[in-house]
Copies of this chain bind each other. A is one copy, B any other.
């Protein structure tokens, strides 16, 4: 069960609308169930360094089927997953990556958003994930 391009485009559209609503400029990435990129959008003026971060957030969310911020809460110094970010050619473990589920609750991909505060990144990712 993989996200379709049509679903990915809808998620990006909703994420972009939310980003504009809260006056931010975002990089938005969608990966499929195999953690491979399906669609990507960089809004004009969005941070260039957030390009890679948004893709890594989407991959991280699908790699572990959870919000990236949860992984981050476990990977702090002294935490059980300290330095997990060294795996998989680099993870991003702060908020902004969210798994995408279909109507039956099966994970079919993930969205990653980067370009503002991690709170805003998460808000925009949530808007995209909910569009499916």
Contact = CB atoms under 8 A, between A and B. Distances in A.
Contact of A37 (B51, B65, B72, B118): B51
A85 B75 CA distance: 13
A33 interface: yes
Interface string A4-44: 11100100000000000000000000001111111111111
Interface residues of A, number: 54
Given A34-B35, A36-B35, A42 B5 contact: yes
Contact of A81 (B40, B86, B118): B118
A107 B74 CA distance: 31
Contacts of A85: 83, 86
Interface string A45-87: 0011111110010011011110000001001111011111111
A91 interface: yes
Interface of A: 4-6, 9, 32-44, 47-53, 56, 59-60, 62-65, 72, 75-78, 80-95, 117-118
Given A49-B62, A83-B94, A87-B90, 4 more contacts: A34-B48, A37-B42, A37-B51, A47-B63
7 contacts: A36-B51, A39-B40, A39-B42, A53-B84, A76-B82, A80-B117, A83-B85
